[in-house]
Amino acid sequence: MLNLNLKNMKKHLYIVVIIALGLATMAAQPLKDDTEELEEVFKQINEDVLAHSKVYETLGDACRTIGHRLTGSSNGKKAEEYTNALLKSYGFKDVKYQPFQVEAWSRDTVTLAIAPRKSDNFRDVQVVSLAMTPVASKVTAPIVDVGNGLEADFQAKKDQLQGKIALVNIGLLAPIKGPRNLHRSEKTALAMQYGAAGVIFVNTVKGNVLLTGTASVTGSLIEIPAVCISLESGMEIRAWLSQEPNLIAMIDMKNFSRMIKARNVVATLKGDSKKYRDEKIVIGGHLDSWDLAHGALDNGIGSFSILDVARVFKQLNLKTKRTIEFVMFMGEEEGLLGSKAMIERLSKANSLEQVVFMMNLDMANNANGFNASGRDEMVPFFTKVGNVIQKIEPAYKNTVINQAGLHSDHQSFMLEGIPTASPIGSIAPDALGCYHANCDKFDLVKKDELQNTVRYTAMMLYALANAPEIPAKKLDYYSTRDFFIKQNLRKELELGREWRWGQTE
DSSP conformation letters of 442-480 = GGG--HHHHHHHHHHHHHHHHHHHH-S--SS----HHHH
All domains of the chain in start order, with CATH: 37-94+270-474 (3.40.630.10), 108-256 (3.50.30.30)
> What is the DSSP annotation of 75-128?
HHHHHHHHHHHHHHHTT-S-EEEEEEEEEEEEEEEEEEEEEETT----EEE--E
Measuring CA to CA, which residue among 142, 333, 334, 128 is closest to residue 222? 334
pLDDT confidence of residue 174: 85
pLDDT confidence of residue 33: 59
pLDDT confidence of residue 310: 98
Mean pLDDT confidence for 358-379: 98
Name the pLDDT band for 89 (thresholds 50, 70, 90): very high
Secondary structure element (H or E) that encloses residue 356, with its range: strand 355-360
With a pLDDT cut of 90, the percent of the chain lying above it is: 86
| Contact (CB, 8 A) for 385 and 338 | no
Calculate the average pLDDT of the chain.
92
Kindly report, residue by residue over 411-427, the tens digit of the pLDDT: 999 999 999 999 999 99
CB atoms within 10 A of CB 381: 22
Per-residue exposure over 428-459, b if at least 16 CB sit within 10 Å of its own CB, e if not: eeebebbbbbbbbbbebbbeebbbbbbbbbbb
Name the pLDDT band for 216 (thresholds 50, 70, 90): very high
Q: What whole-number distance in Å separates Cα of residue 408 and Cα of residue 363?
A: 10
Mean pLDDT confidence for 8-13: 43
Name the pLDDT band for 178 (thresholds 50, 70, 90): low
| DSSP type of residue 176 | P
Q: What whole-number distance in Å separates Cα of residue 249 and Cα of residue 167?
A: 10
Measuring CA to CA, which residue among 347, 384, 348, 392 is closest to residue 469? 384
Checking if the pLDDT of 5 tops 90, the result is: no
Give the global pTM.
Answer: 0.88
Helix (H, G, I), strand (E, B) or coil at 178: coil
Kindly report, residue by residue over 244-293, the tens digit of the pLDDT: 999 999 999 999 999 989 999 999 999 999 999 899 999 999 999 999 99
pLDDT confidence of residue 504: 47
Strands 323-329 and 247-269: what pairing? antiparallel
More confident residue, 140 or 8: 140
Q: What whole-number distance in Å separates Cα of residue 143 and Cα of residue 160?
A: 10
For 249: left if phi > 0, alpha if psi spans -120 to 50, otherwise beta; the answer is beta
pLDDT confidence of residue 62: 98
More confident residue, 17 or 413: 413
Provide Rg for the chain, Cα atoms: 27
Q: What whole-number distance in Å separates Cα of residue 371 and Cα of residue 487?
A: 14
465 Cβ contact list (under 8 Å, min separation 6): 271, 281, 320, 321, 322, 324
Share of the chain residues as helix, strand and coil, in percent rounded to the nearest 5: 40, 20, 40
Secondary structure element (H or E) that encloses residue 167, with its range: strand 165-169
| Contact (CB, 8 A) for 418 and 358 | yes
pLDDT confidence of residue 120: 83
Name the pLDDT band for 32 (thresholds 50, 70, 90): very low
Checking if the pLDDT of 313 tops 80, the result is: yes
| Contact (CB, 8 A) for 472 and 355 | no
Checking if the pLDDT of 29 tops 60, the result is: no
Name the pLDDT band for 463 (thresholds 50, 70, 90): very high
More confident residue, 18 or 345: 345
Mean pLDDT confidence for 326-349: 96
Q: What whole-number distance in Å separates Cα of residue 338 and Cα of residue 265?
A: 10
pLDDT confidence of residue 119: 85
Measuring CA to CA, which residue among 350, 143, 101 is closest to residue 237? 143
- Distance between terminal CA atoms of the chain? 78
Checking if the pLDDT of 445 tops 50, the result is: yes
Checking if the pLDDT of 15 tops 60, the result is: no
Mean pLDDT confidence for 315-339: 96
Checking if the pLDDT of 200 tops 80, the result is: yes
| Contact (CB, 8 A) for 152 and 178 | yes
| Contact (CB, 8 A) for 232 and 208 | yes
Q: What whole-number distance in Å separates Cα of residue 182 and Cα of residue 188?
A: 10
Backbone angles phi, psi at 258, to 5 degrees: -160, 155
Helix ranges (DSSP H) in 336-438: 337-348, 379-392, 410-414, 429-432
Name the pLDDT band for 218 (thresholds 50, 70, 90): confident
Checking if the pLDDT of 385 tops 80, the result is: yes
pLDDT confidence of residue 279: 97
CB atoms within 10 A of CB 469: 7
Q: What whole-number distance in Å separates Cα of residue 149 and Cα of residue 133?
A: 18
Q: What whole-number distance in Å separates Cα of residue 27 and Cα of residue 245?
A: 84
pLDDT confidence of residue 19: 37
